């Protein structure tokens, strides 16, 4: 609707300041010509908006102009109050601030929308932590936040997965990302985007040097590159297994990250075939947790790895004090 678009333009200009017409057109999915027509409509209604052409031009509100109109619809009000259940605010020390902000928003909402927003906050709960993710080390994000917001470089002591000793890095932070209950620092190291799990950062110290980010790159851009790298990374070995039907649901929940396709389930057979991808040959030892409920069929080297692991476990218990002979 045109009225919604006009309000969106007004709020974007109020938040961002000068915005190029082509950027507004892209965000609102209309043509540049439509944007200029909307600007004329806003000006005709008394909004002090003007456009400047040229290389550094754009559309802008007259300095000092503000509007208190929220323009929130019922669905937008509900969406906003679901934010209170995200859980990320506690780690950032913003729980109290969020509650205060939502109370202010509630007071500003149109009266007909207030009951729906209040019910939403009581009826919808978002828990971003994965099941059986195991105990996680407490993460102190204060130093990381300070560096991110003050645009300073960071010196990190970071322990990689599988590494015994932390290593030292000097990085240029873009920001923090919460992914499935896990916090990550997104930063450049020597101009290359890197991902650092916050719970593996042993110490962090802001430096007196200003951050050196790549021109034109924002947090969302750097995160998209890193996210794609993680999700598109091919495993080191593809394996085929068969699973007993009565353990299939549990199997799928535990190995969800390794499954490359839905299991071949005809709905009748006692065994169901599934295909997985592991980063290393040794990682297939995860399947030992299923005992005789899962059989690794292929490739042969993966079967040999699993057999060697099983023999090692058997030998350990045979040699243990009080072991059965």
Mean pLDDT on 80-103: 61
Residues 202 and 250 in one domain: no
Residues 37 and 86 in one domain: no
As a whole number of Å, the CA-based R_g of the chain is 27
Residues 265 and 306 in one domain: yes
Among residues 188, 207, 231, the one where a domain terminates is: 231
Q: Check which CATH number belongs to the domain holding 174 and give it.
A: 2.30.30
Q: Would you say residue 162 lies in a domain?
A: yes
Identity of the highest mean pLDDT range in 39-53, 78-92, 144-158: 144-158
Whether the per-residue pLDDT at 154 is higher than 70: the answer is: yes
Query: Mean of the per-residue pLDDT values for the chain?
Result: 80
Supply the range of the domain harboring residue 54: 2-61
Q: Would you say residue 157 lies in a domain?
A: yes
Whole-angstrom Cα distance, residue 204 to residue 296?
Answer: 43
Q: How many CB atoms lie within 10 A of CB 23?
A: 15
DSSP state of 151: T
Whether the per-residue pLDDT at 301 is higher than 90: the answer is: yes
The two three-digit tokens of residue 255, written as one number: 């190995």
Residues 102 and 159 in one domain: no
Q: How many CB atoms lie within 10 A of CB 100?
A: 11
- Contact assessment for residue 153 and residue 207, using Cβ atoms and an 8 Å cutoff: yes
Q: What is the pLDDT of residues 29-40, one digit of tens each?
A: 889 889 888 888
Q: Would you say residue 117 lies in a domain?
A: yes
User: Number of folded domains in the chain?
Assistant: 4
163 vs 142, which has greater pLDDT? 142
Residues 246 and 226 in one domain: no
At residue 42, the pLDDT reads 85
Percentage of the chain exceeding pLDDT 70:
74
Whether the per-residue pLDDT at 243 is higher than 80: the answer is: yes
Any residues with CB less than 8 A from the CB of 112 and at least 6 apart, and which? 74
Q: How many CA atoms lie within 13 A of 30 on its CB side?
A: 17
Q: Check which CATH number belongs to the domain holding 260 and give it.
A: 3.30.70.2580
- Taking the CA atoms of 278, 279, 282 and 288 in sequence, report the sign of the dihedral they define: negative
Query: How is 231-272 classified by DSSP, letter by letter?
Result: HHPPPSEEEEEEEEGGGHHHHHHHTTTTBSS--B--SS-SEE
Q: Would you say residue 246 lies in a domain?
A: yes
Whether the per-residue pLDDT at 125 is higher than 70: the answer is: no
- Contact assessment for residue 255 and residue 286, using Cβ atoms and an 8 Å cutoff: yes
Q: How many CB atoms lie within 10 A of CB 171?
A: 23
At residue 65, the pLDDT reads 73
Q: Would you say residue 52 lies in a domain?
A: yes
Residues 115 and 154 in one domain: no
Mean pLDDT on 11-34: 85
Identity of the highest mean pLDDT range in 8-12, 125-129, 309-313: 309-313
146 vs 207, which has greater pLDDT? 207
Q: Would you say residue 323 lies in a domain?
A: no
Q: What is the pLDDT of residues 48-90, one digit of tens each?
A: 888 887 777 789 888 777 665 556 666 666 666 665 555 556 6
Identity of the highest mean pLDDT range in 139-143, 150-154, 160-164: 150-154
Q: Strand ranges (DSSP E) for the chain?
A: 49-52, 58-61, 152-158, 167-179, 182-189, 192-197, 201-210, 237-244, 271-278, 294-298
Q: Check which CATH number belongs to the domain holding 14 and give it.
A: 1.10.10.10
Q: Would you say residue 114 lies in a domain?
A: yes
Residues 222 and 301 in one domain: no
Whole-angstrom Cα distance, residue 193 to residue 179?
Answer: 17
* Burial environment of residue 20 by CB neighbours within 10 A (0 to 12, 13 to 18, 19 or more): middle
Percentage of the chain exceeding pLDDT 90:
22
Mean pLDDT on 279-307: 91
Whether the per-residue pLDDT at 212 is higher than 90: the answer is: yes
At which residue do the structure tokens 């204060």 appear?
142
Residues 254 and 211 in one domain: no
At residue 230, the pLDDT reads 79
Residues 243 and 285 in one domain: yes
Q: How many CB atoms lie within 10 A of CB 282?
A: 12
Residues 39 and 92 in one domain: no
Whether the per-residue pLDDT at 225 is higher than 80: the answer is: yes
Residues 155 and 223 in one domain: yes
Whether the per-residue pLDDT at 234 is higher than 60: the answer is: no
Query: How is 22-45 classified by DSSP, letter by letter?
Result: HHHHHHHTS-HHHHHHHHHHHHHT
Q: Which of 176, 211, 180 is nearest to 195 (CA)?
A: 176
Whether the per-residue pLDDT at 324 is higher than 80: the answer is: no
At residue 223, the pLDDT reads 92
Residues 177 and 197 in one domain: yes
Q: Which of 34-43, 113-122, 123-132, 239-248 shows the lowest per-residue confidence on average (mean pLDDT)?
A: 123-132
User: Whole-model pTM?
Assistant: 0.54
300 vs 81, which has greater pLDDT? 300
The two three-digit tokens of residue 24, written as one number: 């507004």
Q: Would you say residue 110 lies in a domain?
A: yes
Q: How confident is the model at residue 130 (pLDDT cuts 50, 70, 90)?
A: low
Whole-angstrom Cα distance, residue 98 to residue 105?
Answer: 10
């Amino acid at each position: 609707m045109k009225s919604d678009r006009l309000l969106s333009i007004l709020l974007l200009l109020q938040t961002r300041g000068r915005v190029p017409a082509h950027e507004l057109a892209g965000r609102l999915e209309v043509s540049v010509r439509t944007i200029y027509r909307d600007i004329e409509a806003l000006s005709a209604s008394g909004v002090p908006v003007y456009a400047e052409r040229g290389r550094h031009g754009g559309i802008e509100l007259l300095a000092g102009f503000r509007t208190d109109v929220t323009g929130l619809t019922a669905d937008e009000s509900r969406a906003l109050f679901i934010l209170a259940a995200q859980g990320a605010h506690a780690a950032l020390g913003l729980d109290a601030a969020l509650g205060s902000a939502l109370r202010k928003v509630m007071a500003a909402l149109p009266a007909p929308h207030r009951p729906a927003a209040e019910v939403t906050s009581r009826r919808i709960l978002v828990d971003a932590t994965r099941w059986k993710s195991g105990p996680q080390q407490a993460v102190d994000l204060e130093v990381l936040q300070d560096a991110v917001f003050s645009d300073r470089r960071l010196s990190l002591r970071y322990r990689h997965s599988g590494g015994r000793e932390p290593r030292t890095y000097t990085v240029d932070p873009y920001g923090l990302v919460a992914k499935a209950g896990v916090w990550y620092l997104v930063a450049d190291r020597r101009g290359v985007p890197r991902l650092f799990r916050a719970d593996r950062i042993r110490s962090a110290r802001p430096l007196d040097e200003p951050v050196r980010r790549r021109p034109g790159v924002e947090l969302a851009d750097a995160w998209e590159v890193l996210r794609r790298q993680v999700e598109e990374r091919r495993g080191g070995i593809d394996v085929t297994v068969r699973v007993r039907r009565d353990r299939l649901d549990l199997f799928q929940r535990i190995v969800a990250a390794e499954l490359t396709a839905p299991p071949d389930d005809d709905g009748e057979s006692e065994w169901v075939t599934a295909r997985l991808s592991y980063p290393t040959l040794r990682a297939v030892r995860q399947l030992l947790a299923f005992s005789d409920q899962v059989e690794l069929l292929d490739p042969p080297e993966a079967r040999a790895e699993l057999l060697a692991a099983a023999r090692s476990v058997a030998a350990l218990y045979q040699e243990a004090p009080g072991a059965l002979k």
